[in-house]
Amino acid sequence: KNEVEQSPQNLTAQEGEFITINCSYSVGISALHWLQQHPGGGIVSLFMLSSGKKKHGRLIATINIQEKHSSLHITASHPRDSAVYICAVRRGNEKLTFGTGTRLTIIP
C-alpha cells in the first residue's frame, strides 16, 4: 500500500462544477502539499498545509491531521483548471512522498 493515496485517479466534469480531490496518507507528517502539473509542464505548488484550511482564489485545501486526510476543492471550475493534481507529504525537512495524481479534465 502506498503511503499516499489519491482519489479519484481521473475526473471529468463540466465547466462550473464544484470539484473535490481527496488524499489519504498513512504516516505522521509535518506538512502536506498540493501541486499542479499541466501536461508536459512544470510543477506549481498550490498549497502547503499543516493544519486547518487554506484558500487561494477558487482553490480551497483542507487537512484533518487526526484522520490523515486532505481535500482539494475547486469552485466554479474552468477548462484552464484541467491538469494533474498531486498530493505530497513531508516529514520534517525531508523529501516529499507523492501520490499518483488525479487527472482533472474540465469540459466547456
Partner 1 sequence: NAGVMQNPRHLVRRRGQEARLRCSPMKGHSHVYWYRQLPEEGLKFMVYLQKENIIDESGMPKERFSAEFPKEGPSILRIQQVVRGDSAAYFCASSPGGIGEQFFGPGTRLTVL
Please give the residue ranges that form the binding site for partner 1 (CB under 8 A).
Answer: 30-31, 33, 35, 41-45, 48, 50, 86, 88, 90, 92-101
Quick one: 18 or 38, whose CB is closer to partner 1?
38
In whole angstroms, how close is the CB of 98 to partner 1 at the nearest point?
4
Quick one: 26 or 75, whose CB is closer to partner 1?
26
Q: How many helices (H) and strands (E) does the chain have?
A: 0, 11
> Residue 19: beta bridge partners?
74
In whole angstroms, how close is the CB of 14 to partner 1 at the nearest point?
27
CA distance 11 to 20: 9
Quick one: 16 or 52, whose CB is closer to partner 1?
52
Q: Find the helix or strand (DSSP H, E) in which 13 lies.
A: strand 10-14
